[in-house]
Amino acid sequence: MDNRQIAQVFAEIGDLLEVAGDNAFKIRAYRTAADTIAACADPVARMDDGDLRALPGIGKELAATVRELADTGACRFHQELLQEFPPTILDLLRLQGVGPKTVAMLYSALNIRTVDELADAARGGRLRELRGMGPRKEALILKAIEERQKDAGRHLLADTTAAAAELVSYLRAQAPAVDFIPVGSLRRGCDTCGDIDVLAVGGAPALMDAFLAFPKVDRVLGHGDTKSSVRLRGGYQADLRLVPPESRGAAVQYFTGSKAHNIVLRDRAMQRGLKLNEYGLFRTSGEQRVAGDTEEGIYAALGLGWIEPELRENRGEIQAAESRRLPRLVTAADLLGDLHMHTTATDGRDDLEAMATAALRLR
């Protein structure tokens, strides 16, 4: 787990403790720890007990919680708190302008447990019956719900990358010989992503049981021998599909998308007497296999240069690949520095000499 994920667990513990009406000092301790971990420049998961306790606001108990999260990916105390309330309570806490004290009041006074129940109560004018509530607060809550629903099911690329990396890391620990490949909008680098789709190349059906046992699973949506789906904490749906090695390239290409890109690619295959699906590229007559073990082989068999996933949106990339005019994308190796940096002279974490030395290493 990275610092952001560990800090999120600490922040959720603080929020849940406040909803439960726990000790104010304990609540503040977890929130202070969350801020400290989020701001820490070094990965806290790699620190030993002494290094952790040297951080501001991290004592023996909280250091042990960090180690528990780093070692197991979960925290027993966090899980126990989640069991005291409906799991949808955290959805209420994520609404703009709805804090733990408000959630505690809504839950205790009106038994509001879900965003839908909160919306119904606000539209019905029942919230204004509560202390500190009124028509203006009701309107603000309805606006927050409306904004949340606009983005329902979508998550920022950075958040999805972190969630997928944690899931893939767990799966690799269960099956080191299997090649796990995140696909879909995440692989295309879209600004926001929907589901987390992961292919398990060479995986056995028993892998599905390990997938369902992932500590972040909230609910099992489907369980099969070759595909399973779960709902993860944080609102993600994650799908795992088993893929035979000979179909690796075809499956990666198909499930990476986009849908519009794949439609054009399949039409191109049909025009050449071929059939393209997630299992491979085949001749329409006789079902002879033409390609499928690599993405590059599929594009080459269709007379195209390989197209970077980030370009697969049906915005002219097929034509550019045919004429070998695809642009070269910027990579991390192209980055030589940062145009906007802060030193310890203001609110940065490194002094000028350290930053200048690091910049020289990037030349």
- pLDDT tens by residue, 216-266: 998 888 899 999 999 888 778 999 999 999 999 999 999 999 999 999 999
Mean pLDDT of 155-184: 95
Amino acid at 41: A
pLDDT score of 91: 84
State the CATH architecture for 255-322: 2-Layer Sandwich (3.30)
Q: What is the DSSP string of 43-103?
A: -GGG--HHHHHTSTT--HHHHHHHHHHHHHS--HHHHHHHHHS-TTHHHHHTSTT--HHHH
Please give the C-alpha separations between residue 53 and each of 9, 47, 137, 214, 254, in angstroms, as whole numbers: 18, 10, 41, 29, 48
**Residue ranges covered by each domain of the chain:** 3-150, 155-243, 255-322, 335-363
pLDDT of 65 higher than 90: yes
Sign of the CA dihedral running 247, 252, 253, 255:
positive
Helix (H) or strand (E) holding 283: strand 280-283
pLDDT score of 152: 62
Mean pLDDT of 270-283: 96
User: 201 falls in which pLDDT band (50, 70, 90)?
Assistant: very high
Q: What is the CATH number of domain 155-243?
A: 3.30.460.10
Respond yes or no on whether the N-terminal peptide bond of residue 169 is cis (omega within 30° of 0): no
CATH number for domain 3-150, candidates 1.10.150.110, 1.10.540.10, 1.10.260.40, 3.40.1120.10: 1.10.150.110
pLDDT score of 157: 92
pLDDT score of 211: 97
Helix (H) or strand (E) holding 319: helix 317-322
pLDDT of 58 higher than 80: yes
Mean pLDDT of 3-21: 90
pLDDT of 196 higher than 90: yes
* Cα atoms found within 13 Å of the Cα of residue 76, Cβ hemisphere only: 5
Rg (the chain; Cα; Å): 25
How much is the mean pLDDT over the chain? Answer: 90
pLDDT of 297 higher than 90: yes
